[in-house]
Amino acid sequence: MRCYCCSSKSFDECCEPSIKGDKHPSSAEQLMRSRFSAYATAHYQYILETYTREKQQGLSVEDLAQSAQGATWFALKVHPSLAASSVDSLVGNSVSSTEDSSINSTVHADAKVEAQTNAEPISKTNLKSISKPITKPITKPNNAIVEFTAYYFENKSMYQLHETSNFSVEDGKWRYHDGVLHDDCGKIKYRRNLPCVCGSGKKFKQCCALKQR
């Protein structure tokens, strides 16, 4: 089964080992992907444990489960950025320095798809944000930024969550700190005959639209 994070790898080769605790993500992007897969599979303990210690203090597994209630997370697009790989060398021996080249950091439909996707402002939706507002910038030397768009269904409607996230290294492991939501978050109208947002190459109606409920 292809991984929930829309990489080119299977779930048991990509995000599942991290979620199970068998290995630690070697970059901020890999951590972000595994956190998305954890939301898709309701592994909220993993999500809590991969926040920075500062953010964990204000959260619980119950809080995270409640925030995601009713949402079916089904596709992820990672936007090109300066981010994770440029600071991997600073992490130390506790994190692998080898980035798996098979992970596609730009999984997406073509530009025409985005041009035909009309997002409503987030203020007009009941979007349950998985992010906390940024309270202060990360000042640690080992940090990275990852921008992504996550797609989910709720109440038979399609939504997108577009976020730029801050990650830092604690005790040799990448951790999520906080993120900024972009203005295009919210309910979207996506044509069923367009290429699926997951990057499978199939039409949306033949792919992820089947997960709608």
Residues 98-109 pLDDT 10s: 333 333 332 333
The alpha carbon dihedral of 128, 134, 140, 143 has a sign of positive
Q: What's 151-167 look like in SS3?
A: EEEECCEEEEEEEEEEE
Helix/strand/coil for 63: helix
How many other β-carbons are positioned within 10 Å of the β-carbon of residue 82? 11
Q: Which residues of the chain have pLDDT under 70?
A: 81-141, 213
What does the alpha-carbon distance between residue 149 and residue 161 come to, in Å, rounded to a whole number?
5
Q: Compute the distance between CA of residue 80 and CA of residue 102 in angstroms, rounded to an integer.
A: 15
Where exactly are the structural domains of the chain?
Answer: 1-82+138-185
Please give the pLDDT value at position 81.
66
CATH of region 1-82+138-185: 3.10.450.50
Q: What is the pLDDT of residue 212?
A: 85
Query: Residue 140: its pLDDT value, please?
Result: 52
